[in-house]
Chain A
Amino acid sequence: MDMLGKYKSCVAARSTSSEILKCSQDGGIVTGMFVYALEEGIIDGAIVAGPGDEPWKPQPMVATTPEEILAARGTRYNISPNMSVIKDAVRQYGLDKVGIVGTPCQIQALRKAQLYPVGLRNVTNKIALAMGIFCMENFSYQSMKQIVEDHCNVDLHSLKKTDIGKGKYWAYTNRGAVSQIPLKVTHKYEQPGCHVCLDYVANMADISTGSVGTPDGWSTVFVRSTNGDSIWKKAVEAGVFETKAIDGIKPGLELVTKLATEKITKNQKEVEHRATIGVGKGLRNPYI
């Protein structure tokens, strides 16, 4: 299994916009990229995790203005089924060039949908930019609520930011308090479907990004497809991002590779374990 997938280049990067960085998760790569692509006409809208009807519950939305994209900044650490609105983006919003951000599994879903577009007539050829985000696992909204409210003792209404890093789950409140719990405690609340996932850094995205490997406020960026490469180069040339070669960065690709290997090895074992979980009977393996 290829741990980091195919890529044309890898850099440390962050947005040059202080407005974007104010509320972005790390380097503001996805937000910066979509705002730039929207302004340049590379996309005419993007599927992002917008605000939902409960605190910290994401709602997939088709953003067609920079303001809407900015409003969707940051990681929510619970599920936003972004693929669910892909048909709406084309049919209801009339977009010809769709941007989409997704976790590795969502990008896998997108690529499968492009190759086997079973119920998506005239939709999948309109994907202009797929941004992938690194992902170790995800939580349902109810699990996230359980972790933040029960374990971290923080009301979701007063939560300012959550983060996973340095082996801990972090909850920051609007009034400046910080609550942290060992990441270990959160494991049992993980979404079961994540345990068979064999992709950590969104290997099939045009461009994938995440915090791991780079210092606070920066992101690691893999530029993967020909399409992604061409858009990334234009964006960097236009001064949308500040970049540094990944080679000199600590902890750099070594940590990304380590975590990817850990995730994929563990989940590969889970796939094998599932096959013999019963007495002479097993569970389904989706990978063929």
Chain B
Amino acid sequence: MSNKITLGHVHMSGCTGCCVSIADTFQGLFTLLDNYADLVYSLTLADVRHIPKMDVALVEGSVCLQDELSIEEIKETREKATVVVALGGCAAYGNITRFSRGGQWNQPQHESFVPISKLIDVDVYIPGCAPCPEVIRNVAVMAYLLLKGNDAQKKLATAYLSPLMALAKDGSRIESDSEACGCDIMLKVVNQGLCMGCGTCAASCPVFAISMEYGKPNIDREMCIKCGACYSSCPRSFFSFDVCGDYENILGAITAAMNPGGN
């Protein structure tokens, strides 16, 4: 199909969990590749050595400042891709690599890891560790609609992607140093008088660092890995009535897009 977009998976310092998450949609990945996107670059899934031009780059992992190749490749990614997506906590916020101080076998000098937005502008953030396969699927479908859809579809895709673009814009500011951890829930939600105790942050945390005590999040900071899931899933971090109020149609459209044969 000539109308496909081109998609790449760029691997920085990450555990490949995000890549697994891309593939973890049962036959969903085949549907995406059959109908909407060609996978033009992926260390694990495509036999291509150098980063080619592509519409959308899904970048996994943070950048190690002591690894020159990583720095070159992340800059090349920005050059070659129209849309750069920070896929997962490490690319977006540093995640667990934030805790590195080097000394590990067999590259002990690899001690400084930064989110990709420290070196390049990023267009879309998908937080989480690992990011949920369904949110990757939703973003992939929306990215397709944004690039190849009709006007109504472009409008919908823009509305859907805007908050994730806003997270990326915030992360790409030079002075930005988002903690992307339970602290964000405290600083940007509870301290701002916005928390209403729904508990979504606690459910979203992959390491069970958040418990609800008397209707408010209690964050175990020793447990937090800084993946950004809690804050981005909080209904009081961002909430669009236009998008969420239209949930039936949007989820229906995504389901239809993933079942092009109508099965």
Contact = CB atoms under 8 A, between A and B. Distances in A.
B53 interface: no
A102 B162 CA distance: 27
A86 B132 CA distance: 15
Given A116-B233, A286-B235, A286-B236, A121 B199 contact: no
A61 interface: no
Nearest to A288: B238
A165 to B, nearest CB: 22
B149 interface: no
A274 B194 CA distance: 11
A193 B203 contact: no
A123 B239 CA distance: 20
A197 interface: yes
- For chain B, give the interface size range: 35 or more
Contact of A115 (B138, B192, B215): B138
Contacts of B233: 112-113, 116-120
Nearest to A203: B245
Interface stretch (B3-11, B40-48, B99-107, B204-212): B204-212
B203 A286 contact: no
Interface string B62-106: 000000000000000000000000000000000000000000000
A88 B229 CA distance: 17
B136 to A, nearest CB: 10
A79 interface: yes
A78 interface: yes
Contacts of B135: 116-118
Contacts of B128: 118-119
Nearest to A116: B135
B132 A120 contact: yes
Given A192-B194, A193-B196, A288-B240, 4 more contacts: A57-B214, A60-B212, A86-B203, A116-B135
28 contacts: A79-B215, A80-B215, A81-B197, A83-B203, A84-B212, A86-B200, A86-B203, A105-B235, A113-B233, A114-B251, A115-B244, A117-B135, A118-B128, A118-B131, A118-B132, A123-B203, A191-B196, A191-B197, A192-B194, A192-B195, A193-B195, A194-B196, A195-B193, A204-B244, A226-B248, A286-B194, A286-B237, A288-B162
